[in-house]
Amino acid sequence: MATLSLTCSLPLQPPSSSQSQSRKLIDSIVSTPFQYSSSSTTSSNGSLKPIVVDGDPPTFVSAPGRRIVAVGDLHGDLDKARCALETAGVLSSDGQSLWIGGETVLVQLGDILDRGEDELAILSLLKSLDIQAKAHGGAVFQVNGNHETMNVEGDYRYVDNGALDECIDFLEYLDKCERNWEEAFVSWCAVSARWKQDRKVSQNYWAQWNLVKRQKGVIARSILMRPGGPLACELARHGVVLKVDDWLFCHGGLLPHHVAYGLERLNREVSRWMKGPSEEDNSPQIPFTATRGYDSIVWNRLYSRDGPELENYQLEQVQYLLEETLQSVGAKAMVVGHTPQPMGVNCKYNCRIWRIDVGMSRGVLDSSPEVLEIRDNKARAIRSTRDRSNELQVADYT
């Protein structure tokens, strides 16, 4: 089981469109293994103990004493993503894309792709924030959702035309960065708006050209996202399930048979498939248990269904499955996205399940961003607007 410490003492460096600045930001991460020697959350000098990650991709995270913030589906809406991250208290509001969350652990629950035009910019922003967060004892984690797995599989049904244009722009920018993926990817969030504006100014709206350009966009997307493509390999760094301390995070929902299959095994198999053929595996198969079927981790909606569609006995069965799942992995609660909640962030089954997809993207419900904050094993929803913020305590439990 791979173990990685995420703590270093280097100063914060803001993201920059400069390639040299991006390179320094990337090189600033220093990771050293760490093992706990006591149950205390602080070290001998009074600071919080390092975050420890087990699994590759990350599956189990020990983050003693940290504040945890979870953000749901973003679907290509960069403006709403920024608003959600500002609401979470981890992103500066000055447009400089600076991490201000200190030792906070941020978890994003997938579905960054599709239905919006700034997908790569959001992924780039999260990558940049993760690099900055690690320099301050925090971290950013992502889990892949069904739209990430669909795109790696080549299912582009829900891709916005603007997202295809972004893929074209990014490949051109990658060339300008001399094919240095890390530099281009981390700095894209800082330059993408300018590239988009330049494209719109020079765009030709002839129907024939639009058709040709869409075909070019599909090709560019395939280059980036097919198994083994550079963006697919970036997504492969994230699993489909993550346990941070006593909290489980996944896109759709974890069930007992997923636990029996093995959480690290599921994450490894999804990652291996996204990375494409290798010397060890010439044709990795799509992991059905994790990514296919109504009861797979990324598609499951069992915990998000409400109202008269379920009889009392069915609700009892769902609660039984939830309790069995949580007990088998030693978790207090599960946090899921995937199914938009028009009423906002909410919990059910004695707050053992939290549903945090509020449909904030303009391509979904265009609702006000909300995030889930967890402190000392107590959770609450925070809703924000640009000009003022209201904190709404949804529920507390121990």
Alpha-carbon distance 212 to 351, whole Å? 50
Please state the φ and ψ torsions of residue 379, each to the nearest 5 degrees: -120, 150
- Which listed residue (75, 136, 147, 258) is catalytic? 147
- Please, how many CA atoms are within 13 Å of residue 101, restricted to the half-sphere of its CB? 32
Determine which helix (DSSP H) or strand (DSSP E) holds 261, and give its type and residue range: helix 256-261
For residues 106, 271, 251 and 77, what is the CA-based torsion angle, rounded to 10 degrees?
70
Read off the amino acid at residue 27: D
Sheet with 333-336: list strands edge to edge.
3-5, 52-54, 60-62, 241-244, 247-250, 333-336, 353-355, 346-348
Instruction: Decide if 195 contacts 244 (C-beta within 8 A).
Output: no
Name which of 56, 61, 159, 173 is nearest 107 in CA terms.
61
Alpha-carbon distance 162 to 213, whole Å? 11
Q: What is the 3-state secondary structure (H, E, C) of 13-49?
A: CCCCCCHHHHHHHHHCCCCCCCCCCCCCCECCCCCEC
Instruction: Decide if 266 contacts 240 (C-beta within 8 A).
Output: yes
Name which of 332, 343, 123 is nearest 236 in CA terms.
123
Read off the amino acid at residue 334: M
Alpha-carbon distance 237 to 12, whole Å? 23
Alpha-carbon distance 26 to 23, whole Å? 5
Can 147 be counted among the known catalytic residues?
A: yes
Question: Which sequence positions are flagged as catalytic?
Answer: 147
